[in-house]
Amino acid sequence: MKKYKIDLSKQLIIITIVSLLIMIISISLILPKSLEPFFEQTVFSYLSQPLNLSLNETSLNKGQDVAYIIYRNDGTYISSNYKKILNIDDYSKILKYTNEKQGSFTYKTHKYYYFKKFDNGNDVIAITNDNYIKMLRRDYLGIVIPIVIITYLIIIVLLTLWSRFIVNRLEKLKIKVDNINNPNINVIKNKYEFDDEIMLLDNTIDEMKEIILSQDKYKSEMYQNISHDFKTPITVIKSYIEAYRDNVENIDNVINVSEEQIQKLEKKVKTLLELNKITYLQNSYKNDEKINIYPTIESIVDKYKIINKNIKYEIKCDKKNILYNGNTDIWDSIVNNLLSNAIRYAKEKIVITIKNDNITFYNDGDKIDENVINNLFEPYKKGKKGENGIGLSIVKGNCNLIGYNVMAKNKKNGVEFIISKRN
């Protein structure tokens, strides 16, 4: 399909000209017909005015475009211009059409208008052709059409100026969009006189640029941290193998250290896969999915009771049937990461409280450093005993997906993680 390059100003001018043509055609064809009753009433008023005066034989011939007929006891009198106006030789042929006080009729393709008055025993009829109405139409259109054209010309000028103003603003936005992911080009924030949709779009583009640059920075830092997390165990394994070849370490020690480092690598790979799983869940999750949260959390807690028997687990819940947004995969990920984090810090107990609008995960471990607590859910932000700094960012990503907020809060004798539904 062929595309035509037409800028916004030209498009507006074309639209205005087309609408002008449509308006002129409408005025020329439709409006006169709709005003026909008004024109006819004007004609009848025009015909009746002379009849309000006293007409006689001498005044019959004064009318230029109106023919008069007077019926009196002593005879019928008619103005001499009737042949010119009525276009007939015998006026009596049309008298049968003048039975009403006023009206119109067509005779031999010509249309006529008449007005009749009964005055002192005399019948007086004023008749004219449709030239007067044609004149009224011409005069009306001669006034209206120039006004419409002038009005539209003014509109075209205003639209052209306005479109240039809009195009200039849009061109500035295009420059911003073209450089939205370029950190080396800082486009100056535009100043607007009007708080309109373009200003809103401009502000949104500025926010998007900040988000994109922030995400790019985050990805760069994440790749660096991932490289470091994977490089460290590999370096340790490589060093022990070289030490064994140099007869510095024995084979049993090399195997034990290698197994330990491989387990760390396995955990890191598993965590990264879980982080990547959020993207899959974002594409597959349906907003109307619900889950009974109590049995889900209870099942996961039972597994952790076996892992660490030194910690006392308690679940507080007023009722066992509370529906939360999400599905089993999402909540397994959320609860597993929060419990894994809690176990590393808890001294004796972990308490989970389930309510209609929020869930709290409490542990009696040490308080979180105030410098860390506000950024705790960002990737690779670790506490004192944090493993890889990804688990809590996975929690936040999953909570955002299903419409919940998550935050950490220091308590008097421990730490509390709160999941609450967004308003």
What is the block-wise mean pLDDT of the chain (423 residues), using blocks of 10 residues?
66 80 78 78 83 59 74 77 81 83 87 84 83 83 82 81 81 80 66 70 80 71 70 86 88 89 81 69 73 92 83 88 88 89 89 92 90 76 54 85 90 92 83
pLDDT at 279: 64
pLDDT at 294: 92
Angle between helix 8-34 and helix 36-51 axes, rounded to 10 deg = 40
C-beta contacts of 112-119 below 8 A and 24+ residues apart? 112/86, 113/40, 113/43, 113/44, 113/47, 114/47, 115/44, 115/47, 115/48, 115/51, 117/48, 117/51, 119/51, 119/54
Contact in structure between 240 and 251 (CB atoms under 8 Å):
no
pLDDT at 59: 56
User: Can you tell me the distance from the alpha carbon of 361 to that of 334, in angstroms, rounded to the nearest whole number?
Assistant: 11
CATH number at residue 358: 3.30.565.10
User: Can you tell me the distance from the alpha carbon of 189 to that of 263, in angstroms, rounded to the nearest whole number?
Assistant: 50
CATH number at residue 265: 1.10.287.130
- Beta-carbon contacts of residue 108 (< 8 Å; ≥ 6 apart): 87, 88
pLDDT at 77: 79
Strands 358-363 and 349-354: antiparallel
* Domain count within the chain: 4
Task: Find tokens 């006529």 and name the residue.
Answer: 112
- Domain coverage including residue 21: 8-33+137-175
305/368 same-domain check:
yes
151/239 same-domain check:
no
pLDDT at 354: 93
12/143 same-domain check:
yes
Residue 135 tokens, joined: 């004149």
pLDDT at 190: 60
Residue 319 tokens, joined: 């009722």
392/402 same-domain check:
yes
pLDDT at 181: 74
312-317: strand order across its sheet: 312-317, 349-354, 358-363, 414-421, 404-411
398/294 same-domain check:
yes
pLDDT at 174: 82
User: Can you tell me the distance from the alpha carbon of 376 to that of 3, in angstroms, rounded to the nearest whole number?
Assistant: 52
239/228 same-domain check:
yes
pLDDT at 388: 46
371/257 same-domain check:
no
396/293 same-domain check:
yes
CB environment 178-212: b (16+ within 10 A), e (fewer) = eebeeeeeebeebeeeeeeebeeebeebeeebeee
pLDDT at 314: 93
242/293 same-domain check:
no
295/267 same-domain check:
no
Strands (E), 198-246: none
Q: What is the largest distance, in Å, between two alpha-carbon atoms of the chain?
A: 155
pLDDT at 121: 67
Q: What single-letter amino acid sits at 87?
A: N
221/110 same-domain check:
no
pLDDT at 189: 62
Query: Which of these, 92, 103, 100, 108, lies nearest to 128 by C-alpha position?
Result: 103
